[in-house]
Amino acid sequence: MSEKSFYQEKMTFSYEKEKEVEVIRVIRTYLLLRGEGTEKDPYRKIEQFWSLSGELLWENDHYLQSKKKKQ
């Protein structure tokens, strides 16, 4: 590797203006069935994350996520 290409490689970076990291306690659940059982909407397992006060924070539907990536 030439000295110039090494320098150029070291100078490339992405800038993040703000970042906040916090450790939180959540409840993770798995719904065993979602979907209609068809080719377009198969049965699948959904992962959900809840706050300790019972608020749904987010969910992962891996089937829908993979379907969006293909589009």
Q: How many Å apart are CA 33 and CA 15, to the nearest integer?
A: 41
pTM of the model: 0.56
Report pLDDT for 2: 53
pLDDT at 6: 52
Domain ranges of the chain: 20-70
51: nearest Cα among 34, 22, 28, 69 = 28
* Model pLDDT for residues 23-69, shown as the tens digit of each residue: 889 999 988 788 999 998 899 899 999 999 999 999 999 888 887 77
- Give pLDDT tens digits for 1-16: 555 555 555 556 666 6
Tell me the C-alpha distance between 64 and 32, whole Å: 15
How many CA atoms, within 13 angstroms, populate the side-chain half-sphere of residue 46? 14
Distance CA 44, CA 42 (A): 6
